[in-house]
Structure 1
Amino acid sequence: MTAASPPPPAPPVEPPPVRPALRRSRTDKYAGGVAGGLAQYSGVDPLLWRVGFVALTLAGGTGIAIYLLLWLLMPAGPRHTDGAPAAPPGPRSPVAGITVAGLLIVVGLMVLVTRYTPLDLGPRGFLAGALLVVGLGLVASAFVRNRAPRGGLIALGSVLTLALLFTSSVSAWHDGEGPRGGVGDRSYEPSTVAQIRPEYALGAGNLELDLSEIDVDDIRQTVDIAIDHGAGDLEITVPEDADVRVVLDQGIGDVDVFGQSDGGFFPAEDEDESDNRPEFRLTIDHQVGNVEVSRA
């Protein structure tokens, strides 16, 4: 009886491809090397990353915030000396490419909806849609082995989450029938007391409120106006003969309230005729930007 021959040796297992660390590129860069670093890490063409940042910037202004956050969070790549081999690029990933393409498509559709329908998605809507696409890409990457850059998608999702939290903290959103915040410049010029809103809100952008056309003689009691402004310059103009009380909560920026740097009671030029009852009471909550309150 002959002995059984030993089994053939198992083929050697090739180690997985080495993925470079997520760092800003020192060679492929136009501003800070963020797009080049993301391309080296994920295997997606840097042009797609740059187009994505531009699309988010045009959509809701969030592309710049995301780029700056990545610039701060991603360390710079190493400087390669002569003769030193560069780190091998990451494997090409169909999941990452499809995710970035889906991100651009979704952002483009939301831009069309915002421009051609009454629906105003705002920056939070754009960020939430982008985060949803990245989340779907992560789900798809769970079913693809050795070619799905989960780390890159997780990093992108984390930055989108931080940008969403930042936007939520500086945007003024109100429910009900009151005015709604958003992004973009706003200008209001009521000509009668009835047209004055009790509240004006804006998340990001310049806000101008011109009350100079209001006839002070028509005001029987103090008109209370609350202004909730996230980021941008705020300019308020009141009638020349109006007594005004300003209550100001200012974050970052310069303040010019009738030539002063804080609030208080500001009677009309003829103080002898003032009865200390203001025609307007302005309650201003302003986060970032300059505030100016002046007379017509």
Structure 2
Amino acid sequence: MSSTKHAGAAAAFEDTLRDFWATRPVRPRIGGKVGGVSAAIGRRYGIDPVLVRVAFVLAAIYGGAGVVLYLLGWLLFPKEGEPVPGNPSPKPEPTSSTLAVILVVLLIPGVFWLTSTPSIIGLAAGLGVLYLVHRTYGERNVAPPPTPAPAPSANPAATPVDENTWVYPGSGTTAAAEAQSPPKWDPLGAAPFAWDLPEPAEPEQPEPRRPRRRWITWTTLVLAAFAGGLTSSLGAPLAIALAIALGVLGLGLIAGSFLHGGRGLIAAAVPLAAVAMLASALPSSTFTGRIGDYTIVPTRTVELDPNYELSAGTVTLDLRDLKLAPDENVTTSANVGVGDVTVLLPPNVDVTAGCKTGLGDVQCLNAMSSGGAADQTATDYGADGLGGGHVSLDLQVGVGSVEVSRG
């Protein structure tokens, strides 16, 4: 029994994949933003394309899986054919060879990029959601099979015998010809040459407008705030709490795509994603609450604190007048969320400095870098060489600059 059940499930899974490939979304010529993948998925399954785009963006932020999935859709989904007179539904065109080569070249580094656990989970989740969407809404917007054109009528125009009797030429009938009553659309018998055409179809009724389901937006926002607040109250870093809240919003967007609601979540998800990314790049000292500009000019080691932390501002350590014994070692650090850290050293002291920014510039003695995650380490023994005291520096800035130089 168990083996039969598993075989049936495997067959159903295979049938769903085959049906998906046979009726896969078609990228439209008009209405797509970049490649038309989101518009194709939305049109095929009756889902708002904006929600599909937001799902791709969220998947791209966490691990980059959204970029790979979008490139795959661009490569594998055909493009809408060029309309021609007499054929309103032309056959879809496959992706051009030149574009396919470019997409494959872009996919190669993208696949190697998916090495972290979040990215692999995001890729699997994206494929799984697409499978479930097709399994649930696979019958929507499927192009009907082409109907054969009606055969030309063998009976040319008829001539009337009386008001209810018509004779077709070449039929061999005489005055006692077979009678044919006019159709409903021609009660006066004014166009007998067109009586063999099918009856005109009734005009389609407009699709009733779906009610707005605003409760999805408000319910998801409340759950996201509760989940983020609970995570933060349990001692988790702010970046983790924001990520949990963003995950709840993502689930709400997925549910809204099925229930045709929740578009208001986009206004909350996009800025929250930006804040979560910024929070993940900032050190924990960003949220201590201290703000300002501090200049420390110690002359003795006891005047130098082991750590300086600011949420925003500048820290300047002027160590040019610091007196160190030849074998004395001193260690200090500075952590600033948004701002700058500057250290001025005497010309002869030995120094080992670690300088790091989440986003900004680093000048660590002679080592320099800039951009995202700038990280430099430098060791210098001063003008007199090894000896004369040693200073160890650990300097971090979330967004800003770090500079270490000799006075």
TM-score bracket relative to the smaller structure: 0.3 to 0.5
Higher relative contact order (CA 8 A, sep 6+): 1
Normalization by structure 1: what TM-score? 0.45
Of structures 1 and 2, the larger Rg is shown by: 2
Normalization by structure 2: what TM-score? 0.36
